[in-house]
């Protein structure tokens, strides 16, 4: 990355960039349409393909519309493909992890930013270290630990890992928020005789609820979309989470059975798409804020 220095005047009055000129003559709506097609069409194609029968795949054109809107593929993905089971498994590991990471994260951020103690900078830096470390670095010792504690092939292995790995970003995001927090309010509450716990529960928590929701959304996507952790610690097919299950299903049937595969992929993306469509502005803000600070 070299910074572009202001060029001398002679150069500035040089000829315009040929590509830029050509780009400016393309009608704007063509560019926007192209962007939308590239982004959205693959997903539309996926959804439409979920309704196609085997004959339509082998005999028809790949981008033709489905002849009927039958849900057979979805039913097969849901039952034969065990997507129903994987959904439940994912929920049962993601929801407790989310609750834990939020509870611990808000508490830690409050303790690190509002409370006064000597080692708080060092502890903050320690948490920060967690953002830089690739998960591969701790996979093997964790595997050994869970093996010895008989936690392999249990949801606890996932919950502990998701929660610990969610903490650094959660704490980082929330300490940033607490930094701009009106301390006068806390001081006023303390002067009024509230204990620190009352301040936390009754004053601080309601005020940061908005940020907590944003953080929870970001963490939800990380956990729900995880593959590596669940692949490593879960061997039992009946405990697989949705991503590991999908990988397996697509590997087994994906070659031959296109319809059910498309349906299972559609099912796997459905929750994230629904959550996103409902709360997109918040999610965009949350994910990009993480990038700015990370």
Partner 1 sequence: MERTLRDWRAITVFVGPALLLFVVILVVPIVWSLGYTLTEGSVIAGFHFVGLSNYVRLAQDPAFWSALWFSVKYAVLVSAGQVFFGLMLALLYSFYLKRSSVLVRTLVFLPVVLPTVAVAQLFVKLFAIAPQYGFLNSFLHAVHLDDLVQPWLGQGGSAFWVIVVMDVWKAMGLYAVLLYTGLMDIPEDTLEAARLDGAHGWKLTQFIILPLLTPVIVTSLIFSLNGTLKVFDSVLALTGGGPGTSTTPLTLYMYKTSFSYSQYGYGSTIAVALTLLCMIVSLIIIRRSREN
* CB contact set of 258 (below 8 Å; sequence gap of 6+): 49, 52, 54, 57
Single out the segment in contact with partner 1 by CB under 8 A; choices: 10-18, 68-76, 79-87, 174-182.
10-18
Task: Indicate whether 195 belongs to the interface with partner 1 (CB under 8 A).
Answer: yes
Considering only 75-83, 174-182, 206-214, 243-251, which stretch makes contact with partner 1 by CB under 8 A?
243-251
46 touches partner 1 by CB under 8 A: yes
Name the one range near partner 1 by CB under 8 A: 23-31, 65-73, 76-84, 205-213: 23-31
Member of 10, 30, 182, 292 binding partner 1 (CB under 8 A): 292
Q: Does 196 bind partner 1 (CB under 8 A)?
A: yes
Give the C-alpha separation, 68 to 148, whole Å.
Answer: 53
Min dist CB 246 to partner 1, Å, is 5
What would the x/- binding string for partner 1 be over residues 173 to 192, using CB under 8 A?
--------------x--xx-
How many chain residues bind partner 1 (CB under 8 A)?
A: 110
User: What's the CA gap between 224 and 243, in Å, rounded?
Assistant: 8
Rule CB under 8 A: which of 83-102 touch partner 1? none
**Interface with partner 1 by CB under 8 A: which range of 71-79, 134-142, 173-181, 208-216?**
134-142
Residues 140-169 that bind partner 1 (CB under 8 A): 140-145, 147-148, 160-161, 163-165, 167-168
**Site map 25..44 versus partner 1, x via CB under 8 A:** ---x--xx--xx-xxx-xx-
Q: Which positions from 112 through 131 interact with partner 1, judged by CB under 8 A?
A: 112, 114-117, 123, 126-127, 129-130
Binding part of the chain for partner 1, among 71-79, 81-89, 173-181, 285-293 by CB under 8 A, reads 285-293
């Amino acid at each position: 990355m070299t910074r572009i220095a202001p060029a001398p005047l002679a150069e500035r009055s040089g000829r315009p960039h040929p590509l830029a000129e050509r780009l400016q003559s393309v009608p704007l709506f063509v560019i926007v349409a192209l962007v939308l097609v590239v982004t959205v069409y693959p997903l539309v194609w996926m959804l439409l393909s979920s309704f196609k029968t085997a004959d339509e795949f082998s005999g028809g054109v790949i981008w033709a519309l489905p002849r009927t809107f039958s849900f057979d593929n979805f039913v097969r993905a849901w039952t034969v493909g065990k997507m129903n089971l994987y959904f439940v498994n994912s929920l049962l590991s993601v929801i407790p992890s989310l609750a834990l990471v939020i509870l611990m994260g808000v508490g830690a951020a409050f303790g690190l930013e509002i409370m006064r103690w000597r080692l708080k900078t060092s502890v903050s830096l320690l948490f920060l270290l967690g953002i830089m470390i690739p998960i591969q670095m701790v996979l093997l010792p964790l595997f050994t630990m869970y093996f010895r504690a008989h936690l392999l092939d249990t949801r606890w292995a996932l919950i502990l890992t998701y929660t610990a790995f969610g903490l650094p970003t959660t704490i980082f995001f929330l300490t940033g928020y607490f930094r701009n927090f009106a301390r006068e309010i806390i001081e006023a509450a303390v002067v009024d005789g509230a204990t620190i716990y009352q301040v936390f529960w009754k004053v601080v928590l309601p005020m940061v609820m908005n940020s907590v929701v944003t953080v929870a959304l970001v963490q939800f996507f990380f956990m729900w979309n995880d593959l590596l952790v669940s692949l490593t610690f879960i061997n039992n097919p009946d405990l697989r989470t949705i991503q590991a299950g999908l990988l397996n299903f697509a590997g087994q049937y994906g070659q031959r059975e296109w319809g059910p595969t498309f349906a299972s992929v559609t099912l796997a993306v459905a929750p994230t798409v629904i959550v996103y469509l409902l709360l997109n502005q918040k999610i965009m803000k949350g994910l990009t804020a993480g990038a700015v600070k990370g």
